[in-house]
Structure 1
Amino acid sequence: MERIPPHPDVRTVPLQRVLEALVDPVRRSIVTQLCDAAADLRCGGFDLPVSNSTATHHFRILRETGLIRQYYVGTARMNTLRRDEFDEAFPGLLDAVVSADRRSSGAAATA
């Protein structure tokens, strides 16, 4: 039996719920890092300013909102951005959020 947590059909997730998930800067950072990654990332492979238990909470919110898909490779929980599905359900939203996150991260780095 595969250990894959449940994932919603992105088309059934209300826009309000998506926006609530993306309002948090840690979750936006996870989405941006996945967008920039050449391959799927394990949970411990992210640069996050929070504890492991808090990061687990953020990953769960993103998974339950349909933004990411999680699966196991051995004991590592892997994460992938559900880019195609999300772009179909909410055209342009992910690009706008990631662009804004990059701008705010760049502004914070130069301050």
Structure 2
Amino acid sequence: MSPRSYHHPDVEDLSLARVLAALSDPTRLEMVRRLSDGREHDSLDLAEDLPRSTLTYHTRMLREAGVTWTRSEGRACLIRLRDDDLDTLFPGLLAAIVANAATPEQPS
């Protein structure tokens, strides 16, 4: 059985609007926060409580926006941030978003 292949946009095709749209969802924001440790993660570990179809939708949105790289290894779907590409195009954006996602909400 051949490994699944995934389409990733080229660096020059990444846009701030698409990246921000992908990161505007709380589920995807939490996935990015988990990925911010710099390691590859199995997609199943990014949101344990989601049905697989919903998980696939969210990981696809991140990949198609250029936020993540995805590769298959056996039955696993391994994902990591495209932090180098994003930092080159939008310096400090990802770090600021992750820092804000990791901060508990302040009372109003």
The answer, yes or no, to whether TM exceeds 0.5 is yes
Partner SS state of residue 95, structure 1: helix
Tell me if structure 1 keeps the 8 A contact 2:3–2:73: no
1:18 CA displacement:
1.1
Name the residue aligned to 1:19. 20
Corresponding residue for residue 81 of structure 2: 81
How many residue pairs are counted as aligned between the two chains? 105
Shift of 1:87: 0.6
> Greater CA deviation, 69-78 or 9-18?
9-18
| 1:10 and 1:65 in contact (8 A); partners too | no
| Long gaps (5+) in structure 2 | none
Bigger mean CA offset, 94-103 vs 11-20: 11-20
Q: Name segments (4+ residues, structure 1) moved above 4 Å.
A: none
Superposition deviation, residue 5 in structure 1: 0.4
SS of equivalent residue, structure 1 residue 71: strand
- For the residues of structure 1 that align with 2:100 and 2:52, how far apart are their CA atoms? 25
CA distance in 2, matches of 1:48, 1:14: 29
- When normalised by structure 2's length, the TM-score is 0.87
- Do 1:18 and 1:65's aligned partners in 2 also have CA atoms closer than 8 Å? yes
How far did residue 9 of structure 1 move? 1.3
In the alignment, is the contact (CA less than 8 A) between 2:3 and 2:74 conserved in 1? no
TM-score of the superposed pair, with normalisation by structure 1 = 0.84
Structure 1 residues 8 and 91, CA gap change in structure 2 (3 angstroms): same
More helix by share: 1
Residue deviations 1:32-59 (CA, integer Å, cap 9, x gap) = 100025x311111124543221111000
Matched, 1:101 2:86: no
Distance 1:25 1:10 in 2: 25
The aligned residue for residue 45 of structure 2 is 45
